[in-house]
Amino acid sequence: MTSKLILTGFMATGKTAVGHLIAGRLGWRFIDTDVEIVACAGKPIAAIFADHGEPYFRALERATVAAVAADARRCPQCGGPLPAVISTGGGVLVDENNCAMLKQAGVVICLSARPEIIAARVGRSPARRPKLVEGGKPLEQRITELMAERAAAYARADVAIDTSDLAPDQVADRVIDAFVAQERTRCRPSA
């Protein structure tokens, strides 16, 4: 069994909230790549974008993904891989190297939601989202544009789950079921 369940997808689809739920249920570590980047940079993501630009942020993101994907720590009791639930930033799969590293490290599950749902969720959040203010367009229009730009990247995930009409507990159930099903497929001996 792989040791990493990786949640990716557009912002406000539930990656962090669901990731915490799943990690708690499974007794696994929870790692949020955005939190790791903020800790490394010593400033919020919006400030990283403002002070250094998106290319600098993406370089930090690549280094963080590489470190998380390559983490080969072992369980002190059983010696097996130390499992983790990993939540990534919304644009992480756009970089093909990030995608390849994550897919090699575990099962990649993309959470999605309809643009109007994402707009409502983002509107309730105090976090600044640098990618949403680019171009000065209405929020839902910008979300739709970004989702279209990233559609091919999100399609690289092993599984996609729409969170639009689901409570976090329901999403967690579906993610765990999908993870287990993918693990069975990965571990099936060849004929």
Cβ atoms within 10 Å of 82's Cβ, excluding its own: 15
The domains of the chain are located at 4-185
pLDDT at 95 over 80: yes
- DSSP calls for 12-36: TSSHHHHHHHHHHHHT-EEEEHHHH
CA atoms of 55 and 63, how far apart (whole Å): 12
Percent of the chain with pLDDT over 90: 76
Range name among 134-148, 151-165, 170-184 with the lowest pLDDT average: 134-148
- Read off the pLDDT of each residue in 60-74 and give the average, rounded to a whole number: 92
pTM above 0.85, yes or no: yes
Q: Cβ(129)–Cβ(31) under 8 Å? A: no
Instruction: Give phi and psi for 11, each to the nearest 5.
Output: -60, 150
Query: What region does 27 belong to: left with phi over 0, alpha with psi -120 to 50, or beta?
Result: left
* CATH classification number, 4-185, choose in 3.40.50.740, 3.40.190.10, 3.40.50.300, 3.30.1330.10: 3.40.50.300
**Packing angle between helix 168-187 and helix 15-26, nearest 10 degrees?**
70
What confidence tens digit (pLDDT) does each residue in 16-56 have? 999 999 999 999 999 999 999 999 999 999 899 999 999 99
Instruction: Check residues 30 and 185 and name the one with the higher pLDDT.
Output: 30
What pLDDT band is residue 65 in, cutting at 50, 70 and 90? very high
Considering Cα of 150, then 153, then 157, then 159, what sign does the dihedral take?
positive
pLDDT at 130 over 90: no
Tokens of 31: 């790692």
Mean pLDDT rounded to a whole number for the chain = 91
What pLDDT band is residue 127 in, cutting at 50, 70 and 90? low
